[in-house]
Structure 1
Amino acid sequence: MFSRIVQTSSRQGEIVEVVLRNGWDYMRRLLTGGKVDEPKLPPPAVLRNILVELGPVYVKLGQLLSTRPDLLPAEYIDTLSALQAEVPPVDWLEVEIVIRQQLHQSLEETFASVNYRPVAAGSIAQTHRATLKDGRDVALKVQRPGLEIVIEQDIALIRLIARLVSQTDFGQYYDIVSIAEEFTQALRAELDFTQEAHNTDLLRRNLQASRWIEPNRLTVPEINWDLTTEKLLVMEWLDGVPLLAANFANPAFDGNADREREEISTLLLKAFFQQICLDGFFHADPHPGNLFYLRDGRIALFDCGMVGRLDPRTQQILLELILSIVNLDAKRCTQLVLQLAPPAHPVNRIKLETEFDQLLRRYYSLNISQVNFSKLVYEVLQIARSNKIRIPGNLGLCAKAIANLEGIARTLDPNFNIPNKIRPMMTEVFQRQIVGEAPLAALLRTVLDVKNLSLQSPRQVEMLLDRVTSETLQWNLSVRELEPVRRALDTSANRLSFSVVVGSLIIGAAIISANTQSSQVYWVSDVLFAAASFLGLWLIWGIIRSGQLK
């Protein structure tokens, strides 16, 4: 196995060398074809070093794993959450080739000027500032040259390792092959900048239509679709500084920086609460580097390469789960977790509720301002993980977004508290779910339904009574999973009957053989023995083929 992986490509040989050099014993045994037990991760610091040495793709893998508290313990989540690729910028001459290949016109005909020095460099792309011919300033996000080849080689190895791990109980339970496919799809989606552009546009429209956020306070850059391609993203240039490095001198707050920080923290909470609980589409990576404080006092949100989506059912359950956590309600929390992720195997509900109760009791005596809400959410997901409940991946993205948001908000405003801020918004959301967006229309629709029901009910009751009195009422019951049980009972009964027949033939042949001296009758016992042997072998072969020998 080891030689097959190494011979696949020089890149994969390099990956194996890094893994072995850092002393990951489990992976060494796995790759060399040795006997392996359940998967064992190296210590968090060692795993971080391996991912950094392996380069941008594996750094991105670590960042995605940091959003899966259902897979990894808390210490790994903390270590991987701060993982960033230390990637030097690509030389301008190489970047220029990529830009020219993506443009319909020449570089000189498209831009009045381009800053050759990048303003940011990441694992997937680097960003340059430029000015269009019409005078508008734009940001050019350019994919790193040659990245596709490296990524495809890395994806091939990740899939191979996932198939190997899938042979263990751990790999089968967590469906490691599907998780690997999920990662490869997310990675390929980040390589397509048109997808990021669509995400940016959708987020911008959702925030502009918000009832909680003033349009002049939070913004997302506009996309220049005429110039955007799969490897080149051209968007509005927004001039500002990273949010946590800002001086906060917005004239609207009369120089009161503390008040402005508090307002910004609340603004960000409202924005992400709307994205997660109302829109079902949210920015999944709001770390400090993606939030900027603009010169005009607005807050800008960048980099929509990693986003999450929630269906309406998950949104509803998640909203109630957040409320149960805020209210420290262990019983309701247990019910909602089981609704959110129906377990593939039986779960000890009493044990799960007890663990949630023990967790939430630790917060009963704390002042609400002392509660680290994101840590509490992570701990809830960790308990679900320890009880073998497979939480949907997008819920991990939610937890990661909340953790990043709370970290930024507490840095800006040490007194910031999510539960206190979130209750009024949750009340409004529940009210909207009850009465809808148009209360009058909902009321009229309900009245019409009641009218139709009142007109139809007498006739339906009359039909029911008529069938009862005439003894023509029939009940059609359909019990789920009953058919497989019936087939299994039929099979067992048939095999038992077959066995009785075979036994009877053997006993009859033995009786004839023992009690007859005539050779004219003796052949009957031979025929019976032959028939019993044939039928017995046939029965055994059928049992072996069915896989139910044990």
Structure 2
Amino acid sequence: MFITQTVPRQREIVEVLLRNGWDYMRRLLTGGKPEDPQLPTPAVLKKILVDLGPVYVKLGQLMSTRPDILGASYIEELSTLQDEVPPVAWSEIEILIRKQLKRPLEETFKYINPVPVAAGSIAQTHRATLIDGREVAMKVQRPGIDITVAQDIALIQGIADLVARTEFGQNYEIKSIAEEFCKALEAELDFTREASFTDELRRNLSKSKWFDPTKLVIAEIHWDVTSPKLMVMEWLDGVPILSAKIGADYNNGKDPTVERKEITTLLFRAFFQQLYIDGFFHADPHPGNLFYLRDGRVAILDCGMVGRLDPRTQQILTEMLLATVDLDAQRCAQLTLQLADSTQPVILSRLESDYDRMLRKYHNLNVAQINFSQIIYEILQVARNNKIRLPTNMGLYAKTLANLEGVARGFNPELNFFDEIKPLLTDLFRRQLLGDSPFRSLLRTALDLKSLSLQSPRQIESLLDRVTSETLQWNISLRGLDGLRRTMDDSANRLSLSILVGSLIMGAAIISTKAQTVQLSLLNNILFAVASLLGLWLVYSTLRAGNRK
């Protein structure tokens, strides 16, 4: 056994695995020899995580953000995991709240509803009213969950240590992935982190050239009553977007079809701004985190899972999106290599062939019929099959687009993905060429040209000096010439041997014409014999080399 301090929990896990028939993990946990991992079916894996409890449900949700590791069927199944669990009794929650507040509970809140509006694996949410009358939502951490998470993290790391001994574990760097998941789980326990993300997202989306910011809402954080285990934010009155009855419960005089189209466009533009302009994005836009409010606005909730993209990655992903729309296999391969997180050699022709084979099935489909998030998942699958390691944020990026497209299609069945992103792509490429300010970009280009014009004469003069003084050296490295070099060496050796054989024959012939003594006759015979043997060996080696080719 590899973690003695968690034996009871370990025994419980083994029982769950036995009950669900995952023999590989049972052998691993009971000290068996590590072998290449054998995953159960997606449905069985999901059931195992649910049976193991809230922390493993959260782990499953994190795994669903890694399509660069798991196949599409696993991602789809794990994405449906919901961490709804029975709520903790109000008496326990009240004790925790009092410990987190700087002032007495009665001086901070006028009213708190003891019945939670939602209960998850890490926290539960209550509706409350501040002492000044403002309606708020209180996210309270489940008492003792930090101890449970610490124990399960130790188990996860122990399992990762065993799997890391296999070829699979080494290829996919399972230990680093496990550490990443464990850090994400630990980060979920600090609500000030989520509160900071919420503020950053609200600031970013408070201004936009693509949509009206007044139509989008991110809850305001009340920092004076927020702590690592308690987050208090603005109460937003609405329902999950897929449950909204546009034109019925929320009749604002608009045609429901038109309003659905407007909301779909708003969501696409808000998330594309996060992904391709801000570089900071909400990474979990599932239906429960997108609300339709009673005043007709749309709210984005739960900023606990976010991702970041640097400008270079944003540019590559923009081009990748266009290559996907164009079904350009060659460009997809080139961009994938630019994104690669490792320098491991890759056979480009094979990668292009895999992409071509994958994209070919979409050639005869109308753009409106194509599921682009599915294509992105398949692109990650091709990269994984070619042992290309991509940055971890690629998984969050792919999952965000997949969730966004899934929600949009559920909310507006008439969705045409290409129509939504076409004007955005045009603007993105314009921004890449000119920047946010064309005038600033022009000035920057002028300064670069000025610098180049000042430096070029000096560099040319230095180059000429080195050429005339014979100090210029060229370091050239050509690959794939070893075989040619060996062939040329063999040819030179055979040519030398042929000249030697010819010389021996000519020498023997000259001697034979003037052989008047026994010694000269013997030398003549020896020269002919040596020439004959060398000649036969030369013929044999030449024929053998030809057969090998």
TM-score normalised according to structure 2 size: 0.83
Aligned letter for 1:409?
A
Distance of aligned partners of 1:464 and 1:77 in 2 relative to their CA distance in 1, 3 Å threshold: closer
**Does 2:278 match 1:283?**
no
**Does 2:406 match 1:407?**
yes
**Does 2:311 match 1:305?**
no
**Does 2:424 match 1:435?**
no
**Does 2:344 match 1:331?**
no
Q: Which moved more, 1:396-405 or 1:192-201?
A: 396-405
Aligned 8 A contact 1:201 1:223 in 2: yes
2:369 aligns with 370
Once the two structures are superposed, residues 352-393 of structure 1 have per-residue CA deviations (whole angstroms, 9 ceiling, x without a partner) of: 211211111111111111001111111111111122122222
**Does 2:308 match 1:318?**
no
Among 175, 178, 197, the residue aligned to 2:176: 178
2:110 aligns with 112
Q: Which moved more, 1:10-19 or 1:203-212?
A: 10-19
Give me the whole-angstrom Cα distance separating, in 1, the residues matched to 2:447 and 2:24.
Answer: 66
2:419 aligns with 420
1:489 aligns with none
**Does 2:244 match 1:246?**
yes
Give me the whole-angstrom Cα distance separating, in 1, the residues matched to 2:91 and 2:294.
Answer: 32
Distance of aligned partners of 1:452 and 1:308 in 2 relative to their CA distance in 1, 3 Å threshold: closer
Aligned 8 A contact 2:315 2:432 in 1: no
Give me the whole-angstrom Cα distance separating, in 1, the residues matched to 2:454 and 2:78.
Answer: 63
Aligned letter for 1:129?
R
Superposed displacement of residue 476, structure 1 = 7.7
Counterparts of residues 190-205 of structure 1 (less than 5 Å): 190-205=188-203
1:125 aligns with 123
Aligned letter for 2:57?
V
**Does 2:48 match 1:50?**
yes
Aligned 8 A contact 1:207 1:213 in 2: no
1:492 aligns with none
**Does 2:38 match 1:17?**
no
Once the two structures are superposed, residues 454-473 of structure 1 have per-residue CA deviations (whole angstroms, 9 ceiling, x without a partner) of: 3454454344434433x154
Give me the whole-angstrom Cα distance separating, in 1, the residues matched to 2:127 and 2:408.
Answer: 29
Superposed displacement of residue 9, structure 1 = 4.0
When Rg is computed on C-alpha atoms for both structures, the one with the higher figure is 2
Aligned letter for 2:311?
P
Distance of aligned partners of 1:286 and 1:166 in 2 relative to their CA distance in 1, 3 Å threshold: same
Among 56, 81, 84, the residue aligned to 2:82: 84
Distance of aligned partners of 1:461 and 1:398 in 2 relative to their CA distance in 1, 3 Å threshold: closer
Counterparts of residues 505-524 of structure 1 (less than 5 Å): none
Percent of pairs identical after alignment? 63
Distance of aligned partners of 1:224 and 1:13 in 2 relative to their CA distance in 1, 3 Å threshold: same
Once the two structures are superposed, residues 236-257 of structure 1 have per-residue CA deviations (whole angstroms, 9 ceiling, x without a partner) of: 1111111111122499973311
Distance of aligned partners of 1:457 and 1:374 in 2 relative to their CA distance in 1, 3 Å threshold: closer
2:261 aligns with 262
1:130 aligned counterpart, secondary structure? strand
Give me the whole-angstrom Cα distance separating, in 1, the residues matched to 2:283 and 2:444.
Answer: 38
Give me the whole-angstrom Cα distance separating, in 2, the residues matched to 1:211 and 1:80.
Answer: 35
Superposed displacement of residue 317, structure 1 = 1.2
Aligned 8 A contact 2:290 2:298 in 1: yes
1:135 aligns with 133
TM-score normalised according to structure 1 size: 0.83
Aligned 8 A contact 2:246 2:256 in 1: yes
In structure 1, runs of 5+ residues without a counterpart are: 481-550
Let me know the Cα RMSD of the aligned residues.
2.1
Aligned 8 A contact 2:34 2:162 in 1: no
Distance of aligned partners of 1:466 and 1:180 in 2 relative to their CA distance in 1, 3 Å threshold: closer
Q: Which moved more, 1:7-16 or 1:436-445?
A: 7-16
Distance of aligned partners of 1:133 and 1:479 in 2 relative to their CA distance in 1, 3 Å threshold: farther
2:24 aligns with 26
Superposed displacement of residue 5, structure 1 = 3.9
**Does 2:459 match 1:446?**
no
Aligned letter for 2:9?
R
Aligned 8 A contact 1:262 1:412 in 2: no
Superposed displacement of residue 134, structure 1 = 0.8
2:223 aligned counterpart, secondary structure? coil
Aligned letter for 1:148?
D
Aligned 8 A contact 2:17 2:23 in 1: no
Aligned letter for 2:402?
A
Give me the whole-angstrom Cα distance separating, in 1, the residues matched to 2:461 and 2:367.
Answer: 59
Aligned letter for 1:231?
K
Q: How many residues align?
A: 478
Once the two structures are superposed, residues 390-420 of structure 1 have per-residue CA deviations (whole angstroms, 9 ceiling, x without a partner) of: 2222111111111111111111211212222
Once the two structures are superposed, residues 212-232 of structure 1 have per-residue CA deviations (whole angstroms, 9 ceiling, x without a partner) of: 121211110000000000000
Once the two structures are superposed, residues 449-500 of structure 1 have per-residue CA deviations (whole angstroms, 9 ceiling, x without a partner) of: 334443454454344434433x1543485989xxxxxxxxxxxxxxxxxxxx
In structure 2, runs of 5+ residues without a counterpart are: 479-549
Once the two structures are superposed, residues 51-102 of structure 1 have per-residue CA deviations (whole angstroms, 9 ceiling, x without a partner) of: 0011111001111111111211222111111111240111111111111110
1:349 aligns with 348
Q: Which moved more, 1:5-14 or 1:434-443?
A: 5-14
Give me the whole-angstrom Cα distance separating, in 2, the residues matched to 1:458 and 1:303.
Answer: 58
Aligned 8 A contact 1:224 1:236 in 2: yes
Give me the whole-angstrom Cα distance separating, in 1, the residues matched to 2:156 and 2:40.
Answer: 17
Distance of aligned partners of 1:344 and 1:106 in 2 relative to their CA distance in 1, 3 Å threshold: same
Distance of aligned partners of 1:461 and 1:216 in 2 relative to their CA distance in 1, 3 Å threshold: same
Give me the whole-angstrom Cα distance separating, in 2, the residues matched to 1:71 and 1:464.
Answer: 50
Distance of aligned partners of 1:166 and 1:449 in 2 relative to their CA distance in 1, 3 Å threshold: closer
1:494 aligns with none
2:6 aligns with 8
Superposed displacement of residue 29, structure 1 = 1.6
Give me the whole-angstrom Cα distance separating, in 1, the residues matched to 2:247 and 2:212.
Answer: 19
Distance of aligned partners of 1:111 and 1:396 in 2 relative to their CA distance in 1, 3 Å threshold: same
Aligned 8 A contact 1:343 1:388 in 2: no
Distance of aligned partners of 1:169 and 1:424 in 2 relative to their CA distance in 1, 3 Å threshold: same
Give me the whole-angstrom Cα distance separating, in 2, the residues matched to 1:253 and 1:332.
Answer: 46
Once the two structures are superposed, residues 523-544 of structure 1 have per-residue CA deviations (whole angstroms, 9 ceiling, x without a partner) of: xxxxxxxxxxxxxxxxxxxxxx
Aligned 8 A contact 2:341 2:391 in 1: no
